[in-house]
A and B are shown apart, each in its own frame.
Chain A
Amino acid sequence: MITFLLAQTIAITGGTVYPVSGPKLANATVLIRDGRIAAVGANVAVPTDATRIDARGKWVTPGLIDGAGQLGLVEISAVPGTREGTLQGDTIAAAFNVAEGINPASTLIPVTRIEGITTALAAPSGNLVSGQAVLIDLDGATIEQMVVKSPVGMVADLSESGKDDAGGSRAGIAARLRQVFRDALEYERRKTDYSRAQMRPLSASAADLEALLPVLHGRVLLIALANRRSDIETALRLAREFKLKLILAGGAEGWEVAAEIAAAGVPVLVEPMDNIPGYDSLGIRYENAALLAKAGVTVALLETDTHKSRNLRQQAGNAVSYGMTWDQALRAVTLSPAEIFGVADRYGSLEPGKVANVVVWSGDPFEFTTGVEHVLIRGKEIPLRSRQTELFERYKSLPPSY
């Protein structure tokens, strides 16, 4: 479904390749044809017409996936006219899909992708049910060209901030969600009655109830923001009651109930560097990602600040510092988010047939010494330029020339 803009053959040769789906390969080649990975290995024949990228001494990984933020949905945080991620005036904004708010010309996109992030979630925010998140590649002239999957999940806020839209109580959040879910199912059963106005008033608009049906049938994920242990348990309880396909986001106190989360088969999206306690998250700890992974939970690591999405690799490095293995951390920014968001058939690892989102690094991607040498998105080499590189070029010697 995604579009490939050019037919080209590229061979990245001689690098240490981390396919993620398998062990690292020394002195290996990644062959890319028409936007997809054609072959990965030490003994790959390079066609004569291939453009070669010499990666000797370099590390080659899949492009990183940031499972958070609002790339394309915000330009300047403090300027409301540049923000598209929150639907005002509807606490159940299930029908709100952010895709058409995305600005493919956003300056944040080049800034982010030239540091090795090739794919990101663009998620709605605010409200009790925030709306539908989409997954985008960080290249493309149109929204259609960028979108990888839409919707990926329905975002709901089961954390402290969700209370405002639920009468001021955590119990109100759960009650309100149950009501909306039941109404959606009743609406589905009685659409004719609904259209004839032969039903009691329902707790959300028809469009929002309709949008919740794929969630209630397990075809679209419920991405639940939950940090306090009890909120995590509420999310798990709701998921059991309604047979939802649940993802926990935040999960600050997840380490306290890691076994329960693992047993439920629920993945968690974690921002490893966040350890500042609030009343929503007194148990927040640097070690959370590692403890969850150790318990068998599928973890994806995040950088939630859209403008700092490029620091995802720093997040991963810190997750390693606080107990994840390096391999776990790399997986948690590549294949694990791809699995969690249901695109692992196309994304997240270097395997034949997958979309060629590939990064060539000068070394360990999590280390500060390391720079990005090449970024390929859908098999197209991305120029390592952004508004910021242009500012640097203008001012690197003073006075500047205009």
Chain B
Amino acid sequence: MRTLLPLLLALTGACASAGGGTRPAQAPAPAAPAAAPATATPESTSVARLQYPSTYTRHPNPPVLIRNATIMTATGQETPNGSILLKDGRIVAVGAKLDAPTDAVVVDGTGKYVTPGLIDDHSHLGVYAAPGTDAESDGNEATNPVTAEVWAEHSFWPQDPQIPLAIAGGITTIQALPGSANLIGGRSAILKLIPARTVQEMKFPGARYGLKMACGENPKRVYGRKGGPSTRMGNMAGYRAAFIQAESYRRKWDAWNKDHKGDPPERNLRSESLAEVLRGTMYVQNHCYRADEMAQMLDLGHEFGFKIRSFHHAVESYKIADLLAKEGTSVSVWADWWGFKEEAMDGIQQNAALNQQAGGRPIIHSDDPGGIQRLNQEAAKAMYAGQRSGILITRDQALRWITANPAWALGLDSIVGTLEPGKMADVVVWSGDPFSVYSKAVQVYNDGWLVYDRNDPARRPRTDFELGQEPAPGSDR
């Protein structure tokens, strides 16, 4: 602790993001890279070229057979004394008894639990990096209420010392979001959480971007004395104006893309991002606390023909859980945060459970460099809070809150988020029940690569920032 007091996170604006999505959820294949029209033409220039492409490559790792462990697949199965085989970055098989290929590393999972790699769909790692000085404050381009043109990946610092801490908590994929100062804060970065020199090496191949939007207090506070918006109705007008421009922009480009006749329209980065939302190829990730405001944002989506993929923070989502379930919009919530600002006053511990009960798609997110290290604990708190209140939440459902459901919110649920043959080998081995406060991730595999091993000092990544520091005696990271 730094003081006898909490940091006023709410005031930093780092803690709220917006979202909104486009397509209904059906196992979205990884989408085409961002904004570029499909056809490159000789006369076209920047827009026809690859836009900041992923250079991610899988790290080699021998095949791994984990056996005698409790396997929690996030598809409804929890199998004691089970095995799982990983090879070439894929899950090959999950079963009671599996044979190890001759070159496989065999991990004795006795007493241990295996889950999919955890996914945090709301993180500011890398954009609000530690040690937290102004020099690392790269999450809010708070110069205009609409900055759809900025991309979180262009702020992301791969040497953020918070990254290895999150890896040690079993996180394998994050959505790094711009902050919530702006109505439209910019594009998110969907990243494999691995040590890397560049953000390009972390970009989840094929992942579609998210667009961060924010409701409520933060934009009002930041812009109220800087030309507005200063009210919630001003917020709404701001979103609408931006999407009206984007509609026109999209029409021009769609027309030109048909036959490439004449000069292409001039690029406008802001409208380019928003046009992707209108086309359904970029997901809206919407920071929004109050139930009544979420209902307004759903109507905004109706007006412009897009769906909001996830409401983030959504502390009042339990009040409209039926509506959200009907709309197919997920909610990315905390287990128990509340009270740091007025729009967070009605947070309750049963929020995720009530959304589950209503047939919705709850996600436990962190929005916090501490919470991301204990996403399993946060899911546990939310699950047991529901159970104690008489809401039947299964362990599988709660596991999905931090695996399959955030995978869906990012459009990656056909690739990650469950333990099924063919899926990417993002796998965590836990020292015990992942819903126990006493359990820790002991091994983390990202795309089949053993990126963290609590029992092997050589397998505990450290950032450049941490070099020269003395590890604590007995430290397992």
Question: Chain A interface (Cβ within 8 Å of chain B)?
Answer: 68-70, 75-79, 85, 107-108, 121, 123, 125, 133, 155, 157, 159, 161, 223, 225, 227, 249-250, 252, 255-256, 269-271, 273-283, 285-288, 291, 302, 304-308, 310-311, 314, 317-318, 320-321, 323, 366-369, 371, 388, 391-392, 395-396, 398-400
Top 4 A-B pairs, shortest CB-CB distance: A317-B437, A271-B1, A305-B6, A78-B341
Interfacial chain B residues near A400, Cβ < 8 Å: 319
Interfacial chain B residues near A318, Cβ < 8 Å: 374, 377, 437
Chain A residue nearest to B5 in the complex (CB): A125
CB distance from A290 to the nearest CB of B (A): 8
Given A249-B4, A279-B133, decide whether A368 and B369 contact each other with a Cβ distance below 8 A.
no
Given A78-B8, A398-B358, decide whether A278 and B340 contact each other with a Cβ distance below 8 A.
no
How far is A369 from B161 in the complex, measured between Cα atoms in Å?
32
B348 CB-CB contact with A under 8 Å: yes
A287–B475 CB distance below 8 A: yes
Given A283-B470, A395-B319, decide whether A76 and B4 contact each other with a Cβ distance below 8 A.
no
B469–A283 CB distance below 8 A: yes
A321–B162 CB distance below 8 A: no
Chain B residue nearest to A288 in the complex (CB): B472
B308 CB-CB contact with A under 8 Å: no
B34 CB-CB contact with A under 8 Å: no
B341–A77 CB distance below 8 A: yes
A371–B2 CB distance below 8 A: no
Q: Which of B1, B10, B369, B438 contacts A302 (CB 8 A)?
A: B1
Interface size on B, residues (CB 8 A): 65
Given A282-B131, A308-B336, A368-B380, decide whether A396 and B437 contact each other with a Cβ distance below 8 A.
no
B258 CB-CB contact with A under 8 Å: no
Interfacial chain B residues near A255, Cβ < 8 Å: 472
Interfacial chain B residues near A305, Cβ < 8 Å: 5-7
Given A121-B4, A123-B5, decide whether A273 and B341 contact each other with a Cβ distance below 8 A.
no
Interfacial chain A residues near B53, Cβ < 8 Å: none
Which of B11, B321, B345, B469 has the most chain A CB atoms closer than 10 A to its own CB? B345
Given A288-B472, A291-B473, decide whether A368 and B4 contact each other with a Cβ distance below 8 A.
no
Interfacial chain A residues near B5, Cβ < 8 Å: 68-70, 85, 123, 125, 304-306
Report B334-349 residues with CB < 8 Å from chain A CB.
336-342, 345-349
How far is A25 from B453 in the complex, measured between Cα atoms in Å?
39
How far is A107 from B438 in the complex, measured between Cα atoms in Å?
31
Interfacial chain A residues near B296, Cβ < 8 Å: none
A78–B217 CB distance below 8 A: yes
B212 CB-CB contact with A under 8 Å: no
Interfacial chain B residues near A306, Cβ < 8 Å: 5-6
Given A278-B131, A368-B436, A395-B318, decide whether A388 and B338 contact each other with a Cβ distance below 8 A.
yes
Sample of 5 more A-B contacts, CB < 8 Å, known A70-B4, A78-B10, A255-B472: A277-B131, A279-B133, A314-B377, A392-B354, A398-B358
B370–A274 CB distance below 8 A: yes
Interfacial chain B residues near A366, Cβ < 8 Å: 437-438
How far is A308 from B368 in the complex, measured between Cα atoms in Å?
14
B381–A368 CB distance below 8 A: yes
Given A277-B130, A307-B337, decide whether A369 and B1 contact each other with a Cβ distance below 8 A.
no
A250–B1 CB distance below 8 A: yes
A388–B2 CB distance below 8 A: no
How far is A257 from B347 in the complex, measured between Cα atoms in Å?
40
B227 CB-CB contact with A under 8 Å: no
Interfacial chain A residues near B340, Cβ < 8 Å: 76-78, 307
Chain B residue nearest to A318 in the complex (CB): B437
Residue pairs across A and B with Cβ atoms less than 8 A apart, 19 shown, are A68-B1, A75-B339, A77-B8, A77-B340, A225-B3, A256-B470, A278-B2, A278-B131, A283-B472, A304-B6, A305-B5, A308-B336, A314-B437, A317-B437, A321-B439, A368-B381, A371-B384, A396-B350, A398-B320
B2–A280 CB distance below 8 A: yes
CB distance from B424 to the nearest CB of A (A): 28
B42 CB-CB contact with A under 8 Å: no
B4–A77 CB distance below 8 A: no
B161–A311 CB distance below 8 A: no
CB distance from B344 to the nearest CB of A (A): 8
Which of B337, B389, B438 has the most chain A CB atoms closer than 10 A to its own CB? B438
How far is A306 from B6 in the complex, measured between Cα atoms in Å?
7
Interfacial chain B residues near A125, Cβ < 8 Å: 3-5
Q: Which of B6, B374, B438, B475 contacts A273 (CB 8 A)?
A: B374
Chain A residue nearest to B338 in the complex (CB): A307
Chain A residue nearest to B8 in the complex (CB): A77
CB distance from B380 to the nearest CB of A (A): 4
Given A68-B1, A277-B131, decide whether A388 and B470 contact each other with a Cβ distance below 8 A.
no
Report B343-366 residues with CB < 8 Å from chain A CB.
345-350, 354, 358
A368–B437 CB distance below 8 A: yes
Given A283-B469, A302-B1, A311-B336, decide whether A77 and B319 contact each other with a Cβ distance below 8 A.
no
Interfacial chain A residues near B7, Cβ < 8 Å: 305
B437–A308 CB distance below 8 A: no
B262 CB-CB contact with A under 8 Å: no
